[in-house]
Amino acid sequence: MKSGNLNLSGLKILVVDDEATIRRTMAVCLETENHQVVTVSNGQDALAEVGRGSFDLVFLDIRLAASSGLDLISPILAASPWTKIIMITAYASIETAVEAMRRGASDYIPKPFTPSQVKLAVHKISELKRLESHVAALQEQLERSSPELTFSSDNSAMNRSIHLARQVAPTDATMLLRGESGTGKTVLARAIHQWSHRSGRPFATISCPSLSAELLESELFGHVKGAFTGAVRDTLGRIASCEAGTLLLDEIGDLPLSIQPKLLRFLQDKAYERLGESATRKADVRLLAATNTDLEEEVEQGRFREDLLYRLNVIQIEIPPLRERQEDILRLADSMLLFFGSLNHKRFAGFTSEAQTAIKNYAWPGNLRELRNVCERAAILCARERVGIDYLLDKMRTIEPASRVGDHVTLARIEEEHIRRILASTRSLQEAAEILGIDQATLWRRRKQYKI
C-alpha cells in the first residue's frame, strides 16, 4: 500500500489493481499532479479503505485476482455516494463498459493506457465535481433567498473582525465566532469557507439546539441501520459528507455533554465512529463554531467541557451587534431594500429622511436578522418609490436615539434599553433574569412597565 501527501488542490484517489507495476505507475503519475493516492491490490482492502475515509475518485480494475471489480461498484457507492469510479481493464468490450456504467461507474479506460490518458480522465472528474459543487451552492443560495452581504464596514470593530477572518481563512485553524443572535455569524462562516482553499468543497451547518442528543450525534457522525429506533438505513453524517470542506456547528453552547468528548476527539485526531458501528473512520473537515452564549460561564456551570472550549477557541472572532455599528445601518438597510424590491419586481430609491432617522435610532435587538425582516416587509407593502416611516414596525416610529452610559438620560431609560437588549440576546426569561441579577417576577413587572 502506498499513500501520498494530502493537497487540497487535488483529489483523494484510490487505485485498485492486482498488478503491482500498474499501482506504482499510477501512483507516481497522479502524485505528480498533486493528488493524494492510496493503492490496494484486492477488493477486501479497497472496501476497508473506503470504510475508513472518503475518496473523490476510485480507479477500479474489472478483473482482480479473487473478485470482479464490477461487484465492488455498488458497495463503494453505498459507503460513499459522491465518489466517482473509473473502470480500468485489459479486456475492454462494449458489454462490460455498459454494465459498469449501469452499476454506477463514471468512466472507462482500457489497458494499456498512457499517463496523459489517466490525467485527462482525472481532469474530467475534477471538472465534474467542481460543477456539482457549484450547482449545489447555487441551489442553496436560491433556497436561502437572502441578500448577499458585502464584507465591508465603516465600523472599526467590525473591520477588525473581517480582517482577522480573511487572514485566518486560508489556514485550517478552528475558529469560534461569537456574537449576539442575528449578527451574521453563519454568513461570516460561509464567507470564511469561500475565502479558503476548501471553497470548491462542501459547506454545511448543524444547528446544535434543534435536535435531541441522539439525533444530533447521528447528524454529525452518521449511523448504521438499526443503531436506534427509526434508523432504517445507513446514514453517512455531515462530517463524511463535508470531506475536504467546512462544517459549521451553530450555537455550539447547546451541544449535549454526551457528544462533547466525541467532538473533542475528532478535533484532535480527525477520527470518529458512526452510531452503532465500531469501525473508526477519518475525515478531513475544517470545523467552525458559533455561539451567542458565554462559554466560559457554561464551563463554570459544568455544562461545557473546558478542554473542548480550548480546542474550539484557537481563533476567536467577535461580531459586534448592529446597534454598535451605527455607521453601517443605513447602508445595510438600503442594500436589503433593493434586494427585496427586486424579488417583488419593484424599484426603490431608498427610505425617506423620517424613516432613516427611525432606522438609525432603533436599537435593533434582533440585529441583522431583524433588519432583514423589516426591509423585506417594507418592500412587500410599500408601493412608493421611497419607503416612509409608516411601513416600518410600530415600535420604531416613536423610538428615541439609543442611549449609552454617560448620556444625559434618566436611569429608567438606560434600564429599559438594557432589559430590551438582554431579552433579545437570551433564550428564556430565566436566563435573562440571571444575567440582570433579578428574579423572574421582577423581570416580568419590568416588561409590563416598559411594554416589552
What is the tens place of the pLDDT at every residue in 349-400? 999 999 999 998 888 988 999 999 999 999 999 999 999 998 998 888 765 5
Q: How confident is the model at residue 112 (pLDDT cuts 50, 70, 90)?
A: confident
pLDDT bracket for residue 8 (50, 70, 90): very low
- Top pLDDT among 196 and 53 is at 196
Q: Residue 40 phi/psi, 5° resolution? A: -140, 165
3-state secondary structure 112-167: CCCHHHHHHHHHHHHHHHHHHHHHHHHHHHHHHCCCCCCCCCCCHHHHHHHHHHHH
pLDDT of 91 > 80? The answer is no
Cell representation of residue 225: 441501520
Taking the CB of residue 63, how many other CB atoms lie within 10 A of it?
A: 15
Q: Is the pLDDT of residue 144 over 60?
A: no
Q: Which tens digit of pLDDT belongs to each residue from 398-422?
A: 655 566 667 777 888 788 878 877 8
CB 286 within 8 A of CB 272: no
**Res. 264 pLDDT band, cuts 50 70 90:** very high
pTM of the model: 0.67
Question: For residues 140-167, b (16+ Cβ closer than 10 Å) or e, as one string?
Answer: eeeeeeebebebebebeebeebbeebee
Domains in the chain, start-ordered, CATH in brackets? 2-131 (3.40.50.2300), 158-318 (3.40.50.300), 322-397 (1.10.8.60), 411-450 (no CATH)
pLDDT band at 208 (very low <50, low <70, confident <90, very high): very high
- Per-residue pLDDT at 150: 61
33-43 confidence digits (pLDDT tens) = 889 899 999 98
Question: Residue 354 corresponds to which amino acid?
Answer: E
Mean pLDDT for 422-443 is: 81
**Could you read off the pLDDT of 174-195 as tens digits, one per residue?**
999 999 999 999 999 999 999 9
What is the grid cell recorded at 369? 436578522
The torsion angles phi and psi of 69, rounded to 5 degrees, stand at -60, -30
pLDDT of res. 402: 60
Q: What is the pLDDT of residue 141?
A: 56
Alpha helix ranges (H) inside 250-366: 260-269, 295-300, 306-312, 326-343, 353-361
Q: Where are the beta strands (DSSP E) in 19-75?
A: 36-40, 57-61
Mean pLDDT lowest for which of 53-57, 153-157, 299-303? Answer: 53-57
Distance, in Å, from the CA atom of 252 to the CA atom of 351, rounded to the nearest integer, reads: 37
Band of residue 148 on the pLDDT scale cut at 50, 70, 90: low
Please tell me the predicted confidence (pLDDT) of residue 109: 87
Look at residue 197 and tell me whether its pLDDT is greater than 60.
yes
Instruction: Please answer whether residues 125 and 86 qualify as being in contact, where contact means their C-beta atoms are separated by less than 8 angstroms.
Output: yes
Answer yes or no: is pLDDT of 239 > 90. Answer: yes
Query: Comparing 4-8, 127-131, 309-313, 364-368, which segment has the lowest mean pLDDT?
Result: 4-8
CA distances to 3, 11, 27, 244, 283 from 6, rounded to whole Å, are: 9, 9, 13, 10, 12
What is the residue-averaged pLDDT of the chain? 86
Give 246's strand partners.
203, 286
What is the chain's percent helix, strand, coil content, to nearest 5? 50, 15, 35
Quote the distance between the C-alpha of residue 215 and its chain's center: 18
Question: Which residue from 3, 39, 44 is spatially nearest to 21, judged by alpha carbons?
Answer: 39
pLDDT at 225: 82
Give me 168's grid cell.
Answer: 485566518
Average pLDDT over residues 324-347: 91
* pLDDT interval class at 214 (50, 70, 90): confident
Residue 98's identity, in one-letter code, is: V
Q: How many angstroms from the chain centroid is the CA of residue 21? A: 42
pLDDT at residue 247 tops 90: yes
